[in-house]
Amino acid sequence: MINEKVAALLNEQINKEIYSAYLYLDMSNYFDARGLDGFAKWYMVQAREELDHALRIYRYMQDNDSAVTLLAIEQPSRGYDNTLDVLNTALEHEESVTNSIHTIYCEADKQHDLRTMEFLQWFINEQGEEETNARDLITKLRIFANDGKGLYLLNQELGERELWDKKEQGRFLALFYFFMPPNWKNGRIYLSSILRKSILEKFPDMKMRYSFFVTPL
Q: Which is nearer to ligand FEO, 41 or 53 (CB)?
A: 53
Rank residues 29 and 192 by Cβ distance to ligand FEO and give the closer one: 29
Smallest separation (angstroms) from ligand FEO to the CB of 9:
15
Q: CB of 83 within 8 A of CB of 142?
A: no
Q: Report the alpha-carbon distance of residue 190 to residue 173 in Å, rounded.
A: 11
The minimum distance between CB 206 and ligand FEO, in angstroms, equals 35
Residue nearest to ligand FEO as judged by C-beta position: 53
Contact residues for ligand FEO, defined by CB under 6 A? 17, 20, 50, 53, 94, 97, 130
- Cα radius of gyration rounded to whole Å, the chain: 21
Q: Which is nearer to ligand FEO, 134 or 191 (CB)?
A: 134
In angstroms, give the least distance from the CB of 49 to ligand FEO: 7
Cβ count near 129 (within 10 Å): 10
Three-class secondary structure assignment of 28-39? HHHHHHCCCHHH
Q: Minimal distance in Å, beta carbon 97 to ligand FEO?
A: 4
Distance of CA 177 to the CA centre of its chain: 24
Using the Cα atoms of residue 172, residue 178, residue 181 and residue 187 in order, give the sign of their dihedral.
Answer: positive
Residue 94 or 107: which CB sits closer to ligand FEO? 94
